[in-house]
């Protein structure tokens, strides 16, 4: 792939637009500018909504089988271009190519899954209890949707929203993260090639998302907002969505506990912990954030995890030997190092890492801390980096209580060889998703989402398309 800086426009109404201002996209491994992208403003946002609103009736009326075939063609095209999209993802967000290839496969599965779901949108027909009329329900597309996606999975977080939206018959305006807009723009071209009509998908990169979002949320033609990002921003978007009574889906921050019980298979738990912590250098909302370990196995688990983290090679994602890429930017590295320093100052012991490496790029080494005190900030904030913090508890009750002591409720992990304990703890953990003896829960066929302050709604699974459908009820005289 050509890595020379190129200029990319906005995708509105099926064509590329290049208004005046642009912003730079940088490779976090080197700091080098890799592209310039048109910077959308409120006027561009309304133009994109114009296109989406005009395309909405025809797209909603397109036969489900036709929508399904378009999504299936998009799946095939994306799989065929795995290397191209993987290189693009690595270029703009830094992760190793092997992980970027895995993201492309994951992203493609949402297109295939919802291609299959498009033809299964069903209603209901039944007789009213009094026998005097029929109750008929149908499910209809919500209408134009605004999709806001994060930088950490620049392709999959889009297909996870676009797949069900298009399958349901909704048009969309996508605002990718300003750090990683290139995959979104490439996907827009791919969808158009697959047969998505002009105006159904629009993409608006912007360096200043506030005015763009305000303009869209204030327009009565917009009917839904789907957001993946921090809880703080989610709260603001919910408030902005209230005047228009918009349908909202929110996939917000996490503070995932990873419980290791005294009867756990320690080697399996350490393998699962490595996946749950180090995938994407820990830059994932479902990354394990707090390792809560029974005191009887704490030392063994810490050593097993240290032995797996220590050999991981830090380096640019384009280097096939790299296993851990850079963080998204210098600000992220500074924040994460501050959390590590705070924990160490309060008494935590650093077993591995904990120092900023010399040289270019926003790199931070795999870091492992033990004896982390309860008041350490990294136990109460989403780390979003390659830092594992171990705390010790005396029994199951204390472990579950510690796991639930957070306002977040996205995902939790637990390792035990006791089947009864697995179900008991799984039921008690306050999270929308639970990985039992498994460090990875994400799958296109499963409903992804949280409880408490980790969000509203679900993405993926049979439930994912429901977020883009409304129920219409008709009472028909018998």
| Residues identified as active-site | 251, 285
For residues 51 and 443, give the distance between their C-alpha atoms in angstroms, rounded to a whole number: 32
Burial 424-436 (b: 16+ CB within 10 A, else e): ebeebbbbbbbbb
Phi and psi angles of residue 234, each rounded to the nearest 5 degrees, phi first? -60, -40
Residues 408, 390 contacting (CB under 8 angstroms): no
Spatial separation of the C-alpha atoms in residues 47 and 319, rounded to whole Å: 41
- Which residues neighbour 341 within 8 Å (Cβ) at sequence distance 6 or greater? none
Nearest to 44 by CA among 6, 17, 8: 17
Residue 168 DSSP class: H
Q: Contact at 8 Å (CB) between 433 and 443?
A: no
Q: Give bridge partners of residue 350 from the DSSP assignment.
A: 369
Sign of CA dihedral 244, 248, 254, 257: positive
Q: If you ran DSSP here, which 8-state letter would residue 200 be given? A: T
| Separation of alpha carbons 144 and 220, rounded Å | 10
Rounded CA-CA distance 144/151 in Å is 23
Measured in whole angstroms, the distance separating CA 229 from the mean position of its chain's CA atoms is 8
Residue the block writes with tokens 């980790």: 454
33 to 3, 6, 36, 331, 433: CA distances (angstroms) = 9, 10, 8, 17, 38
> What's the token pair of residue 59?
């797209």
Nearest to 51 by CA among 197, 213, 229: 197
In 10 A of CB 185, how many CB atoms?
22
Q: How far apart are alpha carbons 288 and 384 in whole angstroms?
A: 9
Residue 38 token pair: 């048109």
Cα 215 to the chain's mean position, in Å?
A: 24
* CB of 23 closer than 8 Å to CB of 16: no
Compute φ and ψ for 103, nearest 5 degrees. Answer: -65, -40
254/399 Cα distance (integer angstroms): 18
H/E stretch holding 134: strand 133-141
Q: Which two tokens stand for residue 20?
A: 């005046």
């Amino acid at each position: 792939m050509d890595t020379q800086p190129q200029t990319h426009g906005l995708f509105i109404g099926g064509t590329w637009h290049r208004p005046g201002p642009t912003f730079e996209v940088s490779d976090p491994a080197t700091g080098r500018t890799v592209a310039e992208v048109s910077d959308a403003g409120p006027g561009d946002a309304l133009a994109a909504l114009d296109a989406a609103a005009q395309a909405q009736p025809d797209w909603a009326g397109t036969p489900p089988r036709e929508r399904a075939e378009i999504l299936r063609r998009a799946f095939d095209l994306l799989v065929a271009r795995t290397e191209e999209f993987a290189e693009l993802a690595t270029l703009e967000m830094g992760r190793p190519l092997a992980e970027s290839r895995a993201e492309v496969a994951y992203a493609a599965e949402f297109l295939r899954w919802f291609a299959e779901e498009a033809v299964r949108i069903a209603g209901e027909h039944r007789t009213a209890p009094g026998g005097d009329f029929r109750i008929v329900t149908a499910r209809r597309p919500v209408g134009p949707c605004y999709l806001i996606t994060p930088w950490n999975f620049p392709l999959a977080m889009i297909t996870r929203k676009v797949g069900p939206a298009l399958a349901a018959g909704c048009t969309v305006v996508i605002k990718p993260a300003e750090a990683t807009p290139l995959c979104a723009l490439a996907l827009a071209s791919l969808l158009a090639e697959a047969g998505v009509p002009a105006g159904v998908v629009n993409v608006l990169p912007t360096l200043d998302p506030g005015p763009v979002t305000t303009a869209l949320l204030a327009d009565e033609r917009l009917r839904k907002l789907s957001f993946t990002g921090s809880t703080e921003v989610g709260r603001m978007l919910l408030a902005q969505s209230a005047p228009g009574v918009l349908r909202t889906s929110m996939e917000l921050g996490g503070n995932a506990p990873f419980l290791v019980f005294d009867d756990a298979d320690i080697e399996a738990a350490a393998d699962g912990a490595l996946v749950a912590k180090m995938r994407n250098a820990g830059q994932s909302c479902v990354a394990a954030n707090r390792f809560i370990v029974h005191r009887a196995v704490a030392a063994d688990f810490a050593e097993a995890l240290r032995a797996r983290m220590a050999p991981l090679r830090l380096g640019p994602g384009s280097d096939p030997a790299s296993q851990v890429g850079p963080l998204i930017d210098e600000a992220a590295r500074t924040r994460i190092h501050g959390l590590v320093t705070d924990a160490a100052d309060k008494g935590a012991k650093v077993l591995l890492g904990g120092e900023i490496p010399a040289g270019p790029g926003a790199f931070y080494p795999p870091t492992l801390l033990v004896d982390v005190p309860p008041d350490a900030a990294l136990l109460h904030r989403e780390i979003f980096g390659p830092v594992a913090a171990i705390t010790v508890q005396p029994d199951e009750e204390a472990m579950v209580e510690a796991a639930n002591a957070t306002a977040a409720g996205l995902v939790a992990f637990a390792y035990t060889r006791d089947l009864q304990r697995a179900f008991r703890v799984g039921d008690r953990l306050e999270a929308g998703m639970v990985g039992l003896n498994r460090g990875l829960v994400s799958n296109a066929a499963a409903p992804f989402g949280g409880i408490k302050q980790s969000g509203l709604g679900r993405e993926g699974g049979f439930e994912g398309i429901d977020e883009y459908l409304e129920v219409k009820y008709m009472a028909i005289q018998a």
